[in-house]
Amino acid sequence: MNKQEYIENDLKYIWRPFTQMKSLENEENKPIVITKGKGIYIEDIDGNKYIDAVSSWWVNTLGHSNDRLNKVLYEQSQKIEHVIFAGFTHSPAVEFSKKLISMINNKLTKVFFSDNGSTAVEVALKMAYQYQVLKGHSEKRKFIALKNSYHGDTLGAVSVGGIDMYHKLYKPLLFEIVQAISPYCYRCPMNREKETCCCECLKSVEDILKTESKYIAGIIIEPLVQAAGGMIMYPPKYITKLRELCDKYNILLIDDEVAMGFYRTGKLFAYEHAGIVPDIICAAKGITAGYMPLSVTVTTDEIYNAFYDDDTDGYKTFYHGHSYTAYPLALAIALENLKILEEMNIEEYLKPKIAKFSQELLKFKFHKNVGDIRQTGMICAIELVKNKETKEPFKYEDGIGKKIYLEGLKLGAILRPMWNCIYFITPYIITEEEITKLTDIAYEALNRVLPD
Instruction: Specify whether domain 71-343 bears CATH 2.60.40.2700.
Output: no
What pLDDT is stored for residue 220 in this prediction? 98
Concatenated DSSP letters for 341-393?
A: HHHTTHHHHHHHHHHHHHHHHGGGTT-TTEEEEEEETTEEEEEEEEETTTTEE
Q: 18, exposed or middle or buried, with CB in 10 Å at 0-12, 13-18, 19+?
A: exposed
Domains 32-65+345-449 and 71-343 share a fold: no
- Residue boundaries of the structural domains of the chain: 32-65+345-449, 71-343
Q: Residue 329 CB: number of other CB atoms within 10 A?
A: 21
What pLDDT is stored for residue 109 in this prediction? 98
Radius of gyration from C-alpha coordinates of the chain: 22
Q: 370, exposed or middle or buried, with CB in 10 Å at 0-12, 13-18, 19+?
A: buried
CATH T-level topology, domain 32-65+345-449: Aspartate Aminotransferase, domain 1 (3.90.1150)
From the list 422, 384, 426, the residue with the least C-alpha distance to 57 is 426
In whole angstroms, what is the distance from residue 254 CA to residue 216 CA? 12
What pLDDT is stored for residue 283 in this prediction? 98
Q: 238, exposed or middle or buried, with CB in 10 Å at 0-12, 13-18, 19+?
A: buried
SS3 content of the chain, % helix, strand, coil (to 5): 45, 20, 40
What pLDDT is stored for residue 176 in this prediction? 92
Mean per-residue pLDDT pooled into runs of 10, the chain (452 residues): 94 94 92 97 97 98 98 98 96 98 98 97 98 97 97 97 92 96 94 88 96 97 97 97 98 98 98 98 98 98 96 87 96 98 98 98 97 98 97 93 96 94 97 98 98 90
What pLDDT is stored for residue 452 in this prediction? 86
From the list 332, 315, 386, 378, the residue with the least C-alpha distance to 352 is 378
What pLDDT is stored for residue 111 in this prediction? 98
What pLDDT is stored for residue 315 in this prediction? 86
What pLDDT is stored for residue 221 in this prediction? 98
In whole angstroms, what is the distance from residue 146 CA to residue 206 CA? 13
What pLDDT is stored for residue 298 in this prediction? 98
